Amino acid sequence: MSVEINCPECGNKFGSQEAMEMHRAARHPTAGPSTKPSIKNMKKMAGYGFVALVMVGIAYWWFFTPHYEDPPFEFKGQPHPETHPESFFLDEPISIPVQIHILEHGPNDVPGALAQYNCKKEEPACAALVQDLRGVVSSFDERNPVYVAPYYKVDALIVLTGRGKIEKLKSYDEARIRAFFGSIGVR
């Protein structure tokens, strides 16, 4: 049983696909080999395309999105609003960009600091903790702004942040709180 394969360009007949491809390469060089893409090549090109797309996505994320510590404790020039909370004692968490601005400078153009707690104010123990934090922070000079607010994304009861420093406390410890803020210049 003989198979005849015709050349698509000139119509010559050949006994095998390989013979027809050799003829096309020699007599019709612009036609090249069969124009039908192979499954193997299609999968290979799809893989390259996927890798390229992932690399572009990573590059976009790296160069065009701000990177913040959580909670922030350093000012690295990240984009942030030029605003401060209306009070030093807040019942709602402070957004990360506003925390960055506080660390850059408080209302008196000196770096600010934060004492944030991880509990619900409705709980009796939390209400007492918030009162204790307010008492300590209120004793500091007003020229050194320290904000007290809830912060629920930390694995500690209290997180203290100042420019370039962070300390997490599992329980209220007034001496450690005073020592932390003293180490960053809050008196």
pLDDT per residue over 49-68, tens digit each?
999 999 988 888 666 665 55
Q: What is the pLDDT of residues 27-39, one digit of tens each?
A: 887 755 556 667 8
Among the four given CATH numbers 3.40.390, 1.10.3470, 3.40.30, 1.20.58, the one describing domain 96-183: 3.40.30
Taking the model in full, what pTM does it have?
0.62
pLDDT for residue 92 = 94
Tokens 């007949």 found at: 13
Residue 138 has pLDDT above 80, yes or no: yes
Higher-confidence position of 120 and 74 = 120
Residue 77 has pLDDT above 90, yes or no: no
Share of the chain above pLDDT 90, in %: 34
Task: Given CATH 3.30.70, say whether it is the number of domain 1-34.
Answer: no
- What's the count of helices (H) and strands (E) in the chain, helices before strands? 5, 6
User: Residue 80: which of 67, 91, 90 has the closest Cα?
Assistant: 67
pLDDT for residue 150 = 95
Beta bridge partners of 158: 117, 169
121: left (phi over 0), alpha (psi -120 to 50) or beta: alpha
Choose the weakest-confidence range: 18-32, 110-124, 153-167.
18-32
Tokens 């509990």 found at: 119
